[in-house]
């Protein structure tokens, strides 16, 4: 067994506790169960106080001696056992891998423990909520995307990395960025800028915007993957740095901002550790067409999907503020959307030299 760090010890202890409770019940002659918070929409709510999408208090008991629950009960322990092994060995793996690792044919039957990954994935989510551990703490990683540079030195798995000297490529953000793996050593950053598109990030890096403005720039290739979201949240909460989100002027861009800020309904149980309620929107606003003199021919017509999505967002409690209502209403009534790249019509460095500096100076953001 590898020597475990504090986080891993805690996670392993939680898994043990879960198993011990079951064993005690069995010894007491009772039907063993695991208690799991319910992850359905009915148990998701918007917390006005925390400004987060979060899970409610409803819980479900999963019994072993119950025809409809027995298989899931067994699966829960297969997965938790595999995770405990991962945690104790100091290794991490993908949820796809975990599916293969835990897939067995049961005895002489033709029954498999799991038929497809869509059976093991929800069990992982169950375990995350039951243990109140992120899957990253269970040593499971998701797919990785994204890169980061800026005036900060980090430690990653024992290597000290100066993100001021990462050339055009940047440091590739891994999926697991928990504090046992990534530590922040020192920095001179004033804020964090999360950029939706890799192409726009490349512009900001090439123009050394991060150096001039003293900020950390990250991109997650569209909707940021878990690693990028969690890292932004850690940088924000541990280094007390404000977060600005730069996205397209379209419902998808607004949605990316929304997930970064409030969390998502699907992953409500993780909002506490993934979301940044104070995040500010510096993405292209529906009113920027006038403000930044964009010609008509760079507008893109919204399609039916865009319109439906935008109208949905009008109803989100966290978009209830008059400024956001006005913003979304303008998008819907104009029927037009704009990509960040449209700003290049004013020059390819317009976005780094004029657009964003002006937005920040005028405090012209949405919250």
Active-site positions read 100
Cβ proximity to its own copies, 131 vs 176, nearer residue: 176
Residue 91 CB, nearest approach to its own copies (Å): 6
Residue 262 to residue 281: CA distance in whole angstroms: 13
Annotate each residue in 46-75 with x if it binds its own copies (CB under 8 A) or - if it does not, as one string: ------------------------------
What spatial distance separates the first Cα and last Cα of the chain, rounded to whole Å?
47
Q: Is 159 annotated as a binding residue?
A: no
Cβ proximity to its own copies, 58 vs 157, nearer residue: 157
Burial (CB < 10 A; 0-12, 13-18, 19+), residue 186, is exposed
| Residue 333 contacts residue 247 (beta carbons within 8 Å) | no
Annotate each residue in 336-355 with x if it binds its own copies (CB under 8 A) or - if it does not, as one string: ---x-xx-xx--xx------
Annotate each residue in 127-146 with x if it binds its own copies (CB under 8 A) or - if it does not, as one string: --------------x-xxxx
The one among 38, 74, 129, 166 contacting its own copies by CB under 8 A: 166
* DSSP character string of 39-98: -SGGGEEEETTTTEEEE-S-EEEEESS-TTTHHHHHHHHHHHHHHHHHHHHT--EEHHHH
Phi (first) and psi of residue 118, to 5 degrees? -70, -5
Residues in the chain: 367
Binding segment for its own copies (CB under 8 A), chosen from 67-75, 121-129, 198-206, 274-282, is 198-206
Q: Is 248 annotated as a binding residue?
A: yes
Residue 182 to residue 10: CA distance in whole angstroms: 17
Residue numbers at the binding site for its own copies (CB under 8 A): 86, 91-94, 96-97, 99-101, 103-105, 112, 141, 143-147, 154-161, 165-176, 181-182, 198-199, 202-203, 206-207, 221, 295-298, 339, 341-342, 344-345, 348-349
């Amino acid at each position: 067994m590898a020597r475990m760090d504090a986080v891993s010890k805690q996670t392993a202890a939680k898994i043990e506790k879960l198993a011990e409770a079951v064993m005690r019940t069995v010894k007491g002659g009772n039907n063993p169960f695991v208690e799991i918070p319910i992850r359905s929409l009915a148990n998701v709510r918007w917390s006005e106080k925390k400004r987060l999408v979060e899970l409610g208090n409803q819980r479900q008991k999963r019994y072993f001696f119950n025809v409809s629950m027995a298989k899931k009960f067994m699966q829960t322990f297969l997965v938790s056992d595999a995770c405990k092994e991962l945690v104790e060995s100091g290794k991490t793996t993908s949820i796809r891998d975990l599916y293969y690792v835990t897939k067995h044919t049961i005895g002489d039957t033709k029954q498999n423990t799991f038929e497809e990954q869509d059976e093991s994935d929800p069990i992982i989510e169950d375990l995350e909520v039951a243990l109140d551990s992120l899957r990253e703490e269970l040593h499971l990683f998701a797919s990785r995307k994204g890169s980061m540079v800026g005036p900060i030195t980090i430690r990653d798995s024992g290597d000290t990395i100066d993100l001021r000297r990462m050339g055009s490529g940047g440091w590739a953000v891994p999926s697991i960025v928990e504090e046992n793996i990534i530590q922040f050593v020192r920095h001179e950053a004033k804020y964090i800028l999360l950029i939706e598109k890799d192409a726009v990030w490349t512009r900001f890096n090439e123009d050394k915007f991060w150096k001039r403005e003293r900020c950390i720039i990250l991109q997650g290739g569209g909707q940021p993957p878990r690693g990028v979201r969690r890292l932004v949240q850690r940088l924000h909460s541990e280094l007390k740095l404000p977060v600005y989100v730069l996205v397209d002027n379209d419902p998808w861009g607004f949605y990316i901002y929304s997930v970064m800020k409030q969390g998502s309904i699907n992953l409500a149980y993780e909002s506490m550790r993934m979301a940044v309620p104070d995040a500010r929107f510096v993405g292209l606003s529906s009113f920027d067409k006038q403000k930044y003199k964009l010609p008509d021919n760079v507008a893109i017509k919204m399609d039916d999907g865009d319109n439906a999505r935008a109208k949905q967002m009008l109803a989100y409690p966290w978009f209830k503020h008059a400024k956001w209502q006005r913003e979304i209403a303008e998008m819907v009534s104009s029927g037009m959307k704009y990509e960040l790249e449209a700003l290049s019509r004013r020059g390819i460095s317009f976005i780094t030299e004029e657009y964003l500096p002006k937005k920040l100076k005028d405090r012209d953001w949405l919250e």
